[in-house]
Protein backbone atom coordinates (compact mmCIF):
# COMPACT_ATOMS: atom_id res chain seq x y z
CA UNK A 1 0.00 0.00 0.00
CA UNK A 2 1.24 3.48 -0.84
CA UNK A 3 -0.13 6.39 1.17
CA UNK A 4 0.27 9.81 -0.45
CA UNK A 5 -0.44 12.97 1.52
CA UNK A 6 -0.29 16.45 -0.01
CA UNK A 7 -0.93 19.14 2.55
CA UNK A 8 -0.66 22.72 3.62
CA UNK A 9 1.01 23.81 6.84
CA UNK A 10 0.98 27.41 7.96
CA UNK A 11 3.97 26.91 10.28
CA UNK A 12 6.91 27.66 8.03
CA UNK A 13 9.43 27.09 10.81
CA UNK A 14 8.30 23.48 10.94
CA UNK A 15 8.64 23.07 7.19
CA UNK A 16 12.26 24.20 7.28
CA UNK A 17 13.20 22.26 10.42
CA UNK A 18 15.66 19.60 9.29
CA UNK A 19 15.90 18.11 12.76
CA UNK A 20 12.15 17.65 12.98
CA UNK A 21 12.14 15.94 9.60
CA UNK A 22 15.00 13.70 10.66
CA UNK A 23 13.16 12.75 13.85
CA UNK A 24 9.97 11.88 12.00
CA UNK A 25 11.89 9.66 9.59
CA UNK A 26 13.80 8.02 12.42
CA UNK A 27 10.89 7.39 14.76
CA UNK A 28 7.78 7.10 12.69
CA UNK A 29 8.36 3.73 11.01
CA UNK A 30 8.28 2.00 14.39
CA UNK A 31 4.95 3.66 15.21
CA UNK A 32 3.31 1.79 12.35
CA UNK A 33 5.23 -1.46 12.90
CA UNK A 34 7.61 -0.90 10.03
CA UNK A 35 11.31 -1.67 10.12
CA UNK A 36 13.74 1.11 9.33
CA UNK A 37 16.81 -0.25 7.51
CA UNK A 38 18.77 2.96 6.95
CA UNK A 39 19.52 6.23 8.63
CA UNK A 40 17.25 9.09 7.63
CA UNK A 41 18.68 11.09 4.74
CA UNK A 42 17.81 14.78 4.90
CA UNK A 43 18.78 17.45 2.40
CA UNK A 44 18.11 21.16 2.05
CA UNK A 45 17.46 22.46 -1.44
CA UNK A 46 17.73 26.18 -2.13
CA UNK A 47 19.56 26.37 -5.45
CA UNK A 48 16.30 27.33 -7.14
CA UNK A 49 13.68 30.00 -7.55
CA UNK A 50 13.04 31.68 -4.17
CA UNK A 51 9.53 30.26 -3.88
CA UNK A 52 10.65 26.67 -4.47
CA UNK A 53 13.15 26.03 -1.71
CA UNK A 54 12.59 23.41 0.95
CA UNK A 55 13.88 20.34 2.70
CA UNK A 56 13.54 16.71 1.72
CA UNK A 57 13.99 13.49 3.61
CA UNK A 58 13.96 9.80 2.92
CA UNK A 59 14.36 6.55 4.81
CA UNK A 60 14.53 2.96 3.57
CA UNK A 61 12.19 0.52 5.24
CA UNK A 62 12.27 -3.25 5.07
CA UNK A 63 8.81 -2.74 3.61
CA UNK A 64 9.81 0.04 1.10
CA UNK A 65 10.24 3.71 2.05
CA UNK A 66 9.04 6.99 3.51
CA UNK A 67 9.78 10.21 1.59
CA UNK A 68 8.89 13.77 2.58
CA UNK A 69 9.36 17.04 0.68
CA UNK A 70 8.56 20.51 1.92
CA UNK A 71 8.16 23.73 -0.08
CA UNK A 72 8.53 26.34 2.60
CA UNK A 73 7.36 29.46 0.78
CA UNK A 74 4.36 27.59 -0.58
CA UNK A 75 3.50 26.18 2.89
CA UNK A 76 3.29 22.84 1.13
CA UNK A 77 4.41 19.35 2.07
CA UNK A 78 4.28 15.99 0.29
CA UNK A 79 4.50 12.74 2.26
CA UNK A 80 4.80 9.23 0.84
CA UNK A 81 4.60 6.09 2.97
CA UNK A 82 5.10 3.13 0.69
CA UNK A 83 4.95 -0.36 2.16
CA UNK A 84 4.74 -3.70 0.41
CA UNK A 85 2.75 -4.79 3.48
CA UNK A 86 -0.58 -3.52 4.70
CA UNK A 87 -0.66 -0.91 7.42
CA UNK A 88 -3.30 1.27 9.02
CA UNK A 89 -3.31 4.09 6.52
CA UNK A 90 -5.97 6.06 8.43
CA UNK A 91 -3.82 6.14 11.54
CA UNK A 92 -0.69 6.99 9.56
CA UNK A 93 -2.40 9.79 7.65
CA UNK A 94 -3.77 11.32 10.84
CA UNK A 95 -0.42 11.03 12.64
CA UNK A 96 1.52 12.61 9.81
CA UNK A 97 -0.98 15.39 9.30
CA UNK A 98 -0.53 16.22 12.99
CA UNK A 99 3.27 15.96 12.91
CA UNK A 100 3.37 18.51 10.11
CA UNK A 101 0.49 20.58 11.52
CA UNK A 102 -1.36 20.39 8.23
CA UNK A 103 -4.36 22.67 8.04
CA UNK A 104 -5.58 21.19 4.75
CA UNK A 105 -4.61 17.94 3.13
CA UNK A 106 -5.45 15.47 0.45
CA UNK A 107 -4.87 11.81 1.31
CA UNK A 108 -4.72 9.15 -1.40
CA UNK A 109 -3.90 5.48 -1.52
CA UNK A 110 -2.25 3.49 -4.28
CA UNK A 111 -2.37 -0.29 -4.23
CA UNK A 112 1.16 -1.37 -5.25
CA UNK A 113 1.10 -5.11 -4.61
CA UNK A 114 0.09 -5.92 -8.11
CA UNK A 115 -0.51 -9.21 -9.89
CA UNK A 116 -0.49 -9.13 -13.69
CA UNK A 117 -3.59 -10.08 -15.66
CA UNK A 118 -4.18 -13.80 -15.46
CA UNK A 119 -2.54 -14.17 -12.09
CA UNK A 120 -5.85 -13.50 -10.43
CA UNK A 121 -9.34 -12.93 -11.63
CA UNK A 122 -9.63 -9.26 -10.83
CA UNK A 123 -7.13 -6.49 -11.20
CA UNK A 124 -8.81 -3.39 -9.89
CA UNK A 125 -7.62 0.15 -10.38
CA UNK A 126 -4.79 0.78 -7.93
CA UNK A 127 -6.06 4.01 -6.51
CA UNK A 128 -8.49 5.00 -3.85
CA UNK A 129 -9.11 8.71 -3.47
CA UNK A 130 -9.91 9.98 -0.03
CA UNK A 131 -10.97 13.45 -0.98
CA UNK A 132 -9.69 16.83 0.00
CA UNK B 1 3.37 14.54 -11.30
CA UNK B 2 4.09 11.17 -9.72
CA UNK B 3 4.69 8.21 -12.03
CA UNK B 4 4.27 4.79 -10.41
CA UNK B 5 5.36 1.64 -12.23
CA UNK B 6 4.83 -1.85 -10.85
CA UNK B 7 6.30 -4.49 -13.10
CA UNK B 8 7.56 -7.99 -13.60
CA UNK B 9 11.03 -8.77 -14.90
CA UNK B 10 12.11 -12.32 -15.63
CA UNK B 11 15.80 -11.41 -15.46
CA UNK B 12 16.62 -11.97 -11.80
CA UNK B 13 20.27 -11.03 -12.28
CA UNK B 14 19.14 -7.56 -13.25
CA UNK B 15 16.90 -7.26 -10.20
CA UNK B 16 19.79 -8.02 -7.86
CA UNK B 17 22.36 -5.86 -9.70
CA UNK B 18 23.18 -3.00 -7.34
CA UNK B 19 25.49 -1.36 -9.86
CA UNK B 20 22.76 -1.29 -12.50
CA UNK B 21 20.38 0.27 -10.01
CA UNK B 22 22.99 2.85 -9.03
CA UNK B 23 23.60 3.72 -12.68
CA UNK B 24 19.91 4.19 -13.40
CA UNK B 25 19.55 6.50 -10.41
CA UNK B 26 22.67 8.44 -11.36
CA UNK B 27 21.94 8.86 -15.05
CA UNK B 28 18.23 8.74 -15.54
CA UNK B 29 17.21 12.10 -14.02
CA UNK B 30 19.21 13.93 -16.69
CA UNK B 31 17.41 11.99 -19.42
CA UNK B 32 14.11 13.56 -18.40
CA UNK B 33 15.57 17.01 -17.69
CA UNK B 34 15.54 16.60 -13.95
CA UNK B 35 18.29 17.73 -11.61
CA UNK B 36 19.87 15.19 -9.32
CA UNK B 37 20.85 16.79 -6.00
CA UNK B 38 22.29 13.79 -4.18
CA UNK B 39 24.28 10.67 -4.83
CA UNK B 40 22.22 7.56 -5.44
CA UNK B 41 21.60 5.60 -2.24
CA UNK B 42 21.44 1.85 -2.80
CA UNK B 43 20.81 -0.81 -0.17
CA UNK B 44 20.44 -4.59 -0.19
CA UNK B 45 17.83 -6.07 2.07
CA UNK B 46 17.93 -9.76 2.91
CA UNK B 47 17.17 -9.90 6.61
CA UNK B 48 13.73 -11.25 5.81
CA UNK B 49 11.74 -14.19 4.50
CA UNK B 50 13.64 -15.78 1.60
CA UNK B 51 11.06 -14.72 -0.98
CA UNK B 52 11.15 -11.07 0.08
CA UNK B 53 14.78 -10.06 -0.40
CA UNK B 54 15.81 -7.43 -2.90
CA UNK B 55 17.62 -4.17 -3.49
CA UNK B 56 16.35 -0.64 -3.12
CA UNK B 57 17.61 2.69 -4.37
CA UNK B 58 16.75 6.32 -4.01
CA UNK B 59 17.96 9.67 -5.30
CA UNK B 60 16.90 13.20 -4.39
CA UNK B 61 15.99 15.47 -7.28
CA UNK B 62 15.53 19.21 -7.25
CA UNK B 63 12.03 18.27 -8.39
CA UNK B 64 11.45 15.55 -5.71
CA UNK B 65 12.78 11.96 -6.01
CA UNK B 66 13.15 8.64 -7.78
CA UNK B 67 12.79 5.44 -5.72
CA UNK B 68 13.13 1.84 -6.91
CA UNK B 69 12.58 -1.43 -5.04
CA UNK B 70 13.14 -4.93 -6.36
CA UNK B 71 11.85 -8.21 -4.99
CA UNK B 72 14.16 -10.69 -6.68
CA UNK B 73 12.41 -13.98 -5.95
CA UNK B 74 9.08 -12.48 -6.96
CA UNK B 75 10.55 -11.02 -10.19
CA UNK B 76 8.91 -7.81 -9.12
CA UNK B 77 10.01 -4.19 -9.24
CA UNK B 78 8.41 -0.91 -8.11
CA UNK B 79 9.53 2.40 -9.57
CA UNK B 80 8.47 5.89 -8.44
CA UNK B 81 9.38 9.05 -10.31
CA UNK B 82 7.96 11.96 -8.37
CA UNK B 83 8.45 15.48 -9.71
CA UNK B 84 6.81 18.71 -8.65
CA UNK B 85 7.20 19.73 -12.31
CA UNK B 86 5.64 18.17 -15.36
CA UNK B 87 7.64 15.66 -17.37
CA UNK B 88 6.92 13.28 -20.22
CA UNK B 89 5.56 10.37 -18.24
CA UNK B 90 5.01 8.21 -21.33
CA UNK B 91 8.68 8.48 -22.28
CA UNK B 92 9.82 7.88 -18.71
CA UNK B 93 7.57 4.84 -18.28
CA UNK B 94 8.79 3.30 -21.52
CA UNK B 95 12.44 3.99 -20.71
CA UNK B 96 12.20 2.52 -17.24
CA UNK B 97 10.28 -0.53 -18.38
CA UNK B 98 13.12 -1.16 -20.84
CA UNK B 99 15.89 -0.53 -18.31
CA UNK B 100 14.39 -3.15 -16.02
CA UNK B 101 13.36 -5.45 -18.90
CA UNK B 102 9.80 -5.58 -17.62
CA UNK B 103 7.66 -8.14 -19.35
CA UNK B 104 4.45 -6.93 -17.72
CA UNK B 105 3.78 -3.65 -15.99
CA UNK B 106 1.16 -1.37 -14.60
CA UNK B 107 1.77 2.34 -15.01
CA UNK B 108 -0.15 4.90 -12.99
CA UNK B 109 0.00 8.63 -12.49
CA UNK B 110 -0.77 10.68 -9.41
CA UNK B 111 -1.20 14.42 -9.66
CA UNK B 112 0.65 15.83 -6.63
CA UNK B 113 0.67 19.55 -7.30
CA UNK B 114 -2.46 20.12 -5.33
CA UNK B 115 -4.38 23.25 -4.48
CA UNK B 116 -6.88 23.05 -1.63
CA UNK B 117 -10.58 23.63 -2.27
CA UNK B 118 -11.23 27.27 -2.98
CA UNK B 119 -7.79 27.95 -4.39
CA UNK B 120 -9.05 27.08 -7.84
CA UNK B 121 -12.39 26.14 -9.27
CA UNK B 122 -11.69 22.48 -9.92
CA UNK B 123 -9.84 19.96 -7.84
CA UNK B 124 -9.91 16.71 -9.80
CA UNK B 125 -9.06 13.31 -8.45
CA UNK B 126 -5.27 13.03 -8.41
CA UNK B 127 -5.00 9.73 -10.19
CA UNK B 128 -5.01 8.58 -13.76
CA UNK B 129 -4.86 4.87 -14.31
CA UNK B 130 -3.06 3.68 -17.40
CA UNK B 131 -4.09 0.07 -17.21
CA UNK B 132 -2.03 -3.08 -17.10
Edge to edge, the sheet with strand B2-9 lists: B41-45, B54-61, B64-71, B76-83, B2-9, B102-110, B127-129
* C-alpha distance from A129 to closest chain B C-alpha (Å): 7
Asked if pLDDT for residue B127 goes beyond 60, the answer is: no
Counting every residue written for chain B, the total comes to: 132
A53 near B CB under 8 A: no
Q: What is the CATH number of domain B2-129?
A: 3.60.90.10
Asked if pLDDT for residue B87 goes beyond 80, the answer is: yes
Cα B93 from Cα B103, distance rounded (Å): 13
* C-alpha distance from A101 to closest chain B C-alpha (Å): 15
Q: What is the largest CA-CA distance in chain B?
A: 51
Would you call A60 and B43 a contact, using CB atoms and an 8 Å cutoff? yes
Cα B18 from Cα B120, distance rounded (Å): 44
B125 near A CB under 8 A: yes
The model's pLDDT over A64-121, given as tens digits with 9 standing for 90+, comes to 999 999 999 999 999 999 998 889 999 999 999 999 999 999 999 998 877 776 554 3
Contact A66, A25 (CB under 8 A): yes
A41 near B CB under 8 A: yes
B74 near A CB under 8 A: no
The model's pLDDT over A41-75, given as tens digits with 9 standing for 90+, comes to 999 999 888 888 999 999 999 989 999 999 999 99
Mean pLDDT, residues B25-40: 96
pLDDT given at position A117: 63
Task: pLDDT band for B50, please (50, 70, 90 cuts).
Answer: confident
- All residues of chain B having their beta carbon less than 8 Å from the beta carbon of residue A125 are 127, 129
The full set of domain ranges for chain A reads 2-114+122-129
What is the pTM for the complete model shown?
A: 0.89
Complex ipTM over 0.85? yes
The CATH T-level fold of domain A2-114+122-129 is 3.60.90
What is the percentage of chain B residues whose pLDDT exceeds 90?
Answer: 75
Amino acid sequence: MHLLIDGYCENKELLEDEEHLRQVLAEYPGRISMTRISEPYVIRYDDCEPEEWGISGFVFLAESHIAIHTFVEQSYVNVDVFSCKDFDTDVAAEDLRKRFKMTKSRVSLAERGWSPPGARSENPSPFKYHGA
